[in-house]
Chains A and B, each alone.
Chain A
Amino acid sequence: MSSRYAVLPCNGLDKSVGCIAREIALGLVDRSESDLICPVLFRVSDARYSKMAAEKPLLVIDGCSTRCASKLAAEKGLKVAKKITVTEEVKNRNVKVGKSLKLGDSELELAGSVVEELLKEEKKEESAAGHEFSTITYDYEIYKKDKFIFRVPRTGFYFNENDCWVVVEGNRARVGVADYVQQSLSDIMFFTPPAIGAEIEQFGELGSIESGKAVFEVISPVSGVVTAVNENLISAPELINENPYEKGWIAELELTDFESDKEFLLDFEGYFKVLKRKVDEFHV
């Protein structure tokens, strides 16, 4: 599968590094399912690109330290998933680029190698992607306490009273922890995954996550065999804090007997009541 970014280059026309930024953007769009945002049009009218920028992770490509594309993204209130600055790439790769606005071999090679690296990084993320759960919809109900926001997905998710969730598609399940857990733990720094192939009983331990405050054992809502773990969490466990229901998923299992397991699980309404009670009783 190929990369899927919304790409916002600076498109700087008066420097070679701006032209290289454009070249990188075009290369990425050509070789993947990424889409291009025209910075000039975006500045004056964001309607055309707002949906794209919301649906795909945003890659900003600046030519130089003026960082026009980064500034534009900030002005429009966009969350930047990844950033490239061509002058930094030149320095880090120890290459020489000319001043001409027409790109020569050296500049094209640089652009090409940046695109290659971006495509490789995306492949690495996708290898941690496990099964494609195409039917999950993320529609959240919110409960607020003081300045803390607790989200609970309204449909498709089941929960146990240990604040762990599961989504099921056919015979496959994906498991993670609820917002209450990541708020309570604060910055999660360590992830101990379960072993691939491990047989897990319902309410058995499915790995653990740890912050400076506490260690939390992930209690599996379902019984099954572990088929995948979210490897991204090993180097970036903070993904659980960022979004525990989407990129912060923990593990996937092949189910043993979901119909029986389901009897002991809560749907959205049941869990939301449990959540409210916990939040009101305990200061997070």
Chain B
Amino acid sequence: MAKPNFSSALVAAGALGLVVWPLIFREAPLYYQVMGMACLYGTLAVAWNVFALTGAISLGHAAFFGLGAYGSALLDHYWHWSPLLTIPLGALLGAAYGASWGLFFKRLRGVYLGLASLAALEIPKVIADNWESLTYGSLGMVGLSSLPTLELGQWQVTLGADLRAQYYLLLAVMVLVALIHKCGMQSRWGWALRAMRENETAAAIIGIKVNRSRAQALLLSSYLTGICGALYAHILGLIEPALVFNLHISALPLVMSIFGGRGRFYGPVLGAMVLYPLDQLVFQPWLPLGHAAIFGLVIVLTILFFPQGIAAWIPKARKYA
């Protein structure tokens, strides 16, 4: 019964709006940049939520983000491969760390998984900080190649310099990842993850392979997070440990996801689209140093007053979570 309803119409309208507005406002580099980063964080929030479907609250996703960034940056720096290759390959470093979480945190649940993820963020951070012969330590790596220029006949797009093209790239990545999220949530696998969240023993009894499903979710989540980190490194052109293995990078997807609403596939994206521009365009000029406090405030208010997130305010016919 895929009857079009109010909610999906609204989501489609929102997506169309995101595609169309840069065609109307043709000279708005600041807005291209902010919305582009909002899309990157939207992708990050979706990636975080893939693991959160199992009921896990990760405070350590910055580890995957940073490892993806470092993986891609190292390939770029030492072998001079194209970012088109280094981004998907470098993100594998994040996925590898995700696999090790799957192994070592197999028996951890709830609060203790959250604490373990917080501690697990320290390990790659301290290593990247101290392995100076490879990573240049706390100085970080500079001069990374920017995103490549695409050519199709005489039509060419400089993804590195053209902020509008960059915005469209990040938007496309976000839409793709959100669609993966949607398919995942509607599949047997997605339902299995949520069944585990509600009652793991019951889920195991009805034949869900609990450990395998959780490990798959973590692997997908960490790989997608690694992609975000790698994209970030090449957009910025530089990385340093304190920048990517940063607690804020862990916090942002958590806040955006929970604020947006974890029950709908577009919830994390909605959260990012509302919060990031709000933070950058309203609070950043007003409070240049401590503007990220807004994310702390938002998460406190969300948990206390609307734990289902703002997506739950959008009425819909069918319930996914």
- Is B a genuine binding partner of A? no
Q: Which residues of A contact B (CB under 8 A)?
A: none
Q: Which residues of B contact A (CB under 8 A)?
A: none
